[in-house]
Amino acid sequence: MSASDVLVLGGPAAGKTHYAGQLLGRLKNDRHGALRLRPGGADDLRKFEEVLACLEEGRAAGHTPAKTWTGMKCQIETRNGDQILIEWPDYAGERLASIVDNREITAEWSASISAARAWLLLIRLSTVSLHEDLLTRPTGLTPEHAAADERRVDGAGWDDRARYVEVLQMLLFAAGQPVFRPVAGPRLAIVLSCWDELDESHPPEEVFRARLPLLHAYVRSTWAEGSWTAWGLSSLGRALNPDSRDDEYARRGPENFGYVIRPGTTDRHSDLTAPVAWLLGV
């Protein structure tokens, strides 16, 4: 199988590195989940050895440099023995942001986008760049927190709410997917990563709608009902530091940490493969 079934996407510092390490660890070792790593089904697990080694020591892995191209594919199996290909086409998150700035998608990535039947988009809310607008700063009013010289917003660069809408529009165009009717495929999972950073007691879609209303409205109006969903994800379960060791984490092992929040719920589940399984309908 040469075409990818699932693309894992994410902007800078969205947690894609840690999710990749934890997900592949689950796929490789867990025999009770809906998915498992097919023997010999990864093109180069060495790319994640450093990530896994850091987590096993109770330390966070470093950030992937923007110039580093470390796309990876791995073949997995479902309970029924079906073979699926999951791909991280662009490991450095800056590249996802750059397609909007440069108005260009590489030929290699375009081929993967066209072939994939599902996209998993990681968004870390704590790093989203937002510009104030008339909804947050009405004309003629001065917010209490603003000093006299802070009343104007220059609006330089992209607001990430608009950037993610543009990214999805460009991906749909690259996939040759018409949008004059609700999109049934590729299926889309919006995954709110680093959930442990959020003080939230609401289901992921409610958080998605409240925090990113423009993107939520676009996804809801573009994708068919049942073809997209929102998840919460904490790949590590807690914050780790790359320069200091978490002894408990190292002692118990990374396989005992991390969780997802399923759509419509607020409960934590340890099966990090669940969003991928939903995308695949297994």
Which element (helix H / strand E) includes 269?
strand 268-269
Residue 192's pLDDT is 97
| Residue 187 phi, psi dihedral angles, 5° rounding | -65, 150
Hey, what are 31's tokens? Answer: 């025999």
Hey, what are 38's tokens? Answer: 């097919």
* Cα–Cα dist 255/102, whole Å: 39
Residue 247's pLDDT is 95
Residue 152's pLDDT is 41
Residue 264's pLDDT is 95
List alpha helices for the chain, DSSP H: 16-29, 49-56, 94-102, 107-115, 160-174, 204-211, 213-222, 247-252, 274-280
Domain count, the chain: 1
CA-based nearest residue to 197, from 250, 237, 161, 249: 237
**Count of residues making up the chain:** 282
Per-residue burial over 67-76, b = 16 or more CB atoms within 10 Å of its CB, e = otherwise: eeeebbbbbb
Q: Within its chain, how far is the Cα of 158 from the centroid?
A: 19
Other Cβ atoms within 10 Å of 43 Cβ, number? 13
The CA distances from residue 140 to 7, 87, 148, 152, 253, in Å, are: 45, 49, 13, 11, 55
Confirm whether 1 is domain-assigned: no
Which element (helix H / strand E) includes 36?
strand 35-42
| Residue 171 phi, psi dihedral angles, 5° rounding | -65, -40
Give the chain's end-to-end CA distance (angstroms, integer). 19
* Cα–Cα dist 6/85, whole Å: 7
Q: Which CATH number goes with the domain that contains 138?
A: 3.40.50.300
Residue 131's pLDDT is 67
Confirm whether 201 is domain-assigned: yes
Q: Mean pLDDT of successive 10-residue segments in the chain (282 residues)?
A: 74 85 78 70 66 88 57 78 78 69 81 89 88 56 47 57 91 92 96 93 95 95 97 95 93 93 95 92 84
Domain range enclosing 155: 6-280
**Which residue do the tokens 């108005």 mark?**
103
Which element (helix H / strand E) includes 191?
strand 187-192
The CA distances from residue 165 to 99, 126, 160, 170, 187, in Å, are: 12, 18, 8, 9, 16
Q: What share of the chain is helix, strand, coil (3-state, %, to 5)?
A: 35, 20, 45
